[in-house]
Amino acid sequence: MSHDVNPLVILVASILTNNILLVYFLGMCSFVAVSKKIETAAGLGAAVIFVLTATTPINWLLNHYFLEDNALAWLVGPHLASKVHLGIFALVFFIAVIAGFVQIVELVVERFSPALYYALGIFLPLITVNCAILGGSLFMVEWKFNFMQSIAYGFGAGAGWALAILVMAGLRKRMRISLVPRGLEGMGITMIVTGVMAMAFMAFNGIVPV
């Protein structure tokens, strides 16, 4: 991916062809744990969409104006800026931003939907360490997106993750009539079904030129 790709194309790509869960397998832990019920899956999906859409552009600004090589030129002049390499702190700063936003989400959910708050339990604050969300910020740096592209990517990656967990919750509801061998119950069968989902999504591979 590069600078000249239309943000709309990035949006479609991050949902279908480069789905953050089904292609990169990021964010698996909460995906497996919270996909038992459709309601909670939808709630966590919405939370992930919000956090990714907000943190990816903010981290872009942070990266562009403070962390990149020579990023501080606007503040301390080009000579001094070329000697400062704050890039090594990228992970710390990104996580701090994400943690802040997750706190906001937690407060809002607890205030307006206590039922969802208790259903999600530990997995709501754990969005902080959801690798899909940190992955969104790191991919955005890696692929050298501009600001608009990073907004599109943040929203698309979140929507892709939410779509995947909704589909999985639906399938798990249907699988209540299944008789899974005891050794594969729960985690095992969910992993296998995720693999099948990833296989089916490979049909979209290459549908958009990124």
Partner 1 sequence: MNFLLKLMKKFEPPFKEGRLKRWYPLYEATETFIFEPTVPTPGAPHVRDAMNTKRFMFLVVMGLIPATLWAFYAFGWRPLAVIIVSYAVGGIIEVGFSIARKEEISEGFLVTGLLFGLVMPATVPLWLVAAGVAFGVLFGKEIFGGTGRNPFNPALLGFAFVYLSWPVHMAPSAYIVPTMHWPGYLAKYLHSGNMMVDALSGATPLSMAQVHGYHYALAHYSLTDMFFGFIPGATGEVSAVLLLLGGLFILVTRVANWRIPVGIFIGVGLLSGILYAINPGKYYPPLFHFVAGGLMLGAFFMATDPVSAPDTQGGKWLYGLFCGMNIVVIRQFAPLPEGVMFSILLMNLFAPLFDEIFLRRRARKEKAYA
Q: Enumerate binding residues for partner 1 (CB under 8 A).
A: 38, 166-167, 170-171, 173-175, 177-181, 184, 189, 192-193, 196-197, 199-208
Burial class (CB in 10 A: 0-12, 13-18, 19+), 205: exposed
Compute the distance between CA of residue 99 and CA of residue 58 in angstroms, rounded to an integer: 13
The least CB distance from residue 155 to partner 1, in Å, is 21
The least CB distance from residue 104 to partner 1, in Å, is 29
The least CB distance from residue 114 to partner 1, in Å, is 22
Compute the distance between CA of residue 60 and CA of residue 151 in angstroms, rounded to an integer: 9
23 or 38: CB nearest partner 1: 38
78 or 170: CB nearest partner 1: 170
41 or 72: CB nearest partner 1: 41
Q: Which of 208, 42, 31 is nearest to 135 (CA)?
A: 31
The least CB distance from residue 10 to partner 1, in Å, is 16
Compute the distance between CA of residue 129 and CA of residue 160 in angstroms, rounded to an integer: 18
44 or 102: CB nearest partner 1: 44
